Chain A
Amino acid sequence: MELHFDQELTRLKEMLLRMAAMAEQSVADSLRALVERNEELARKVDADDAQLDRAEMDIDRVGIELIALRQPKASDLRLIIVAMKIASELERIGDQAVSIAHRAMELAKEPPLKPLVDIPHMAVLVQRMTHDALDAFVYAKPDLARSVIARDHEADQLHEQVRRELTSFMVEDPHTITRALNLMTVARKLERIGDHATNLAEDIVYLYEARDIRHQNEENPPHA
């Protein structure tokens, strides 16, 4: 027998998945706007952000209502708390996409600085990380979530590489500074999306294993 409460939890998960699809679409659109120099698509990303903001608030409201009215315990409680945290990460991923779209609009007004290589590479990586974190949520695969966390280092390295390359452009030719800075911002935003994907993954490990794996290092060893 399915409980009413289970139906409410299913509804919460569905809200989250719809929001996740929107956030992923915004990131994809912002990058397409950048690569194709498509200002119209960039404006669409900006306009769509309000929906993500609304979705985050809806998920928080439903989460708070479930906590107040159902007094969830154990895995139910973790699901609701994690759903609210995931919604917050997705909203911020949406904000990064908006930021990329704004840079794309600026960059489209000037001739290309250089063919984009590392930025699309970074984009593929962090989009994959985000997607895998969400798959780990849907299919209850904490190991997949862990693999996302392991990939964050790669995103950081690519970010550093892009920064170095763009700095050399600026040093050689001050006329490139505006465009290089815009591209640096894009790379920075992609790196942040990787961080958000990592946060999602940590939340998902907590959801399924009740283990808080955030902020672990030698001074702060994992809890038993």
Chain B
Amino acid sequence: MDNAVFRIEQLNFWYGAKQALCDVNLTIRPNQSTALIGPSGCGKSTLLRCLNRMNDLIEQTRVQGRVLLHEQDVYAPEVDVIELRKRVGMVFQKSNPFPQSVFDNVAYGLRIQGVTSRSQLADRVEASLRKAALWDEVKDRLHDSALTLSGGQQQRLCIARAIAVEPEVLLMDEPCSALDPVATAKIEELIQDLKKDYTIVIVTHNMQQAARVSDYAAFFYLGRLIEFDTTTKIFTHPANRQTEDYVTGRFG
């Protein structure tokens, strides 16, 4: 695959003595949304966190194999992890806005990047909030604390914060699991819209959500990639019996 964003090759990962990923090979395509699915403990979140080396923050972990971002191994010693995480942003299960204003949350990464011009900051904050489908709801309260926003708004704020630094890839770890159905629908709509600018990798326990928002789906079980194909194929006629049992709710 010539136009891979990520190419994961023979990836193995251990938490201490416990192996969490076994010989995973997977290609993430640009401007597509790829869902990682599978029962708890299957390795899908571990894999997601390997993509921007979030697992480095956990002690006694060990990685083997390669995670190539545009053919460069993200685990190579010369890689600047901060730079990597700027290119590969992340949105977590629980929204985690900083205890600052809405504006300052989105401007945070930009200021770290050295953007100081007020007008430039204002423009990019607005653009990010618009992309995150939040602008209309917060434009009159940009200087209120982010913590006054609803859960769904906070999650979109976190998405705005992640995209403000113009990453190439957005990793989403169960981004809707703490949200009500209406807020969930908004995030799902947003994921579809964001695909034109970003490559999205999403971990979800919600099969319907994976079916709705992803173009490709990868089914994991016990640390192994069992099946990877278009989402349509995975949810209509998967090739593997275990995948079929999982997507039809008979296992996992």
Contact = CB atoms under 8 A, between A and B. Distances in A.
Most B Cβ at <10 Å: residue of A74, A76, A77, A210: A74
A3 B244 contact: no
A5 B249 contact: yes
A74 B208 contact: no
B244 to A, nearest CB: 5
Interface string B192-232: 00000000000000011001000000000000000000000
B244 A74 contact: yes
Contacts of B249: 3, 5, 73
A77 B208 contact: no
Contacts of B238: 74
Most A Cβ at <10 Å: residue of B207, B236, B237, B244: B237
B252 to A, nearest CB: 13
A77 B236 CA distance: 8
Interface residues of B, number: 12
Interface in A1-16: 3, 5
A57 to B, nearest CB: 27
B250 interface: yes
A205 B172 CA distance: 39
A71 B238 CA distance: 16
Question: Interface size class for chain A?
Answer: 10 to 19
Query: Chain B interface mostly helix, strand, loop or mixed?
Result: helix
Query: Chain A interface mostly helix, strand, loop or mixed?
Result: helix
A73 B250 contact: no
A64 to B, nearest CB: 18
A73 B211 CA distance: 10
A147 B144 CA distance: 72
Interface string B233-246: 00111100000100
B248 A75 contact: yes
A75 B250 CA distance: 12
A210 B248 contact: no
Nearest to B247: A73
Contacts of A222: none
Contacts of A72: 248
A77 B234 CA distance: 13
Contacts of A75: 237, 244, 248
A77 B248 CA distance: 9
B244 A71 contact: no
Interface string A74-89: 1111100000000000
Contacts of B236: 73-74, 77-78, 210
Contact of B250 (A3, A77, A78): A3
Contacts of A73: 207, 211, 235-236, 247-249
Nearest to A77: B236
Interface of A: 3, 5, 71-78, 210
The 5 A-B pairs at the shortest CB distance, nearest first, are namely: A210-B237, A73-B247, A76-B248, A73-B235, A74-B244
Interface of B: 207-208, 211, 235-238, 244, 247-250
Given A73-B235, A74-B248, A75-B244, 4 more contacts: A73-B211, A73-B249, A77-B236, A78-B237
28 contacts: A3-B249, A3-B250, A5-B249, A71-B207, A71-B208, A72-B248, A73-B207, A73-B211, A73-B236, A73-B247, A73-B248, A73-B249, A74-B235, A74-B236, A74-B237, A74-B238, A74-B244, A74-B247, A74-B248, A75-B237, A75-B244, A75-B248, A76-B248, A77-B236, A78-B236, A78-B237, A210-B236, A210-B237
